[in-house]
Amino acid sequence: MNNYTRMLREHHLKATPQRLEIANALDCNGHMTIEKLYEVMLQKFNSISLATIYKNINIMIENAFIQEVKIPNEKSVYELSKERHSHVVCTKCNAIKDIMLDLSQTTQLASQVSHFKIDKADLVLSGLCQKCQQL
């Protein structure tokens, strides 16, 4: 039993070939739009349906196997669930990078000011990646 099979089962998901490939694609590419994922999946399953992609993305989100990342001015991308992290995106080439930042201070302060009980912080930083700065 391979890794992805185990990972899927831990999230109460049957390990079908299609799902294994979604897991693999997201693992290799880091962040993918639905569109891009469909494109990649078509190479392995020439008759896969977009409906299958959507159904799987949805159930995988429900079961916390993957996460949706909403990005300003761009389509959402999806990534395998992992340790909490933030995202840096390039507004020119759309590159996306994961970044570990300690937001506990900020979150705590926000909690005091707003009187909310906060349990999640989604931060997306936008700018220019190293390459695009040079152009």
Partner DNA sequence: CTGGGTGCAAAGTATTTGCATGAAC
Partner DNA sequence: GTTCATGCAAATACTTTGCACCCAG
Which residues here bind DNA, judged by CB under 7 A? 5, 8-9, 13-19, 34-35, 45, 47-52, 54-56, 58-59, 75-76
What is the rounded radius of gyration, in angstroms, for the C-alpha atoms of the chain? 17
* CB nearer to a second copy: pick between 9 and 70: 70
How large is the angle between the packed helices 50-62 and 34-44, nearest 10 degrees?
120
* CB nearer to DNA: pick between 45 and 116: 45
Query: Of 90, 102, 101, nearest to 127 (Cα)?
Result: 90
CA distance 34 to 39: 9
* CB nearer to DNA: pick between 2 and 133: 2
24 interface partner picked from DNA, a second copy, none, CB below 5 to 8 A per type? none
Least Å from the CB of residue 55 to a second copy: 18
Q: What phi and psi values does residue 80 have, to the nearest 5 degrees?
A: -65, 145
* CB nearer to DNA: pick between 46 and 130: 46
How large is the angle between the packed helices 17-29 and 50-62, nearest 10 degrees?
70
Query: How long a stretch of residues is the chain?
Result: 135
59 interface partner picked from a second copy, DNA, none, CB below 5 to 8 A per type? DNA
| Other Cβ atoms closer than 10 A to 56 | 22
108 interface partner picked from a second copy, DNA, none, CB below 5 to 8 A per type? none
Least Å from the CB of residue 133 to DNA: 29
14 interface partner picked from DNA, a second copy, none, CB below 5 to 8 A per type? DNA
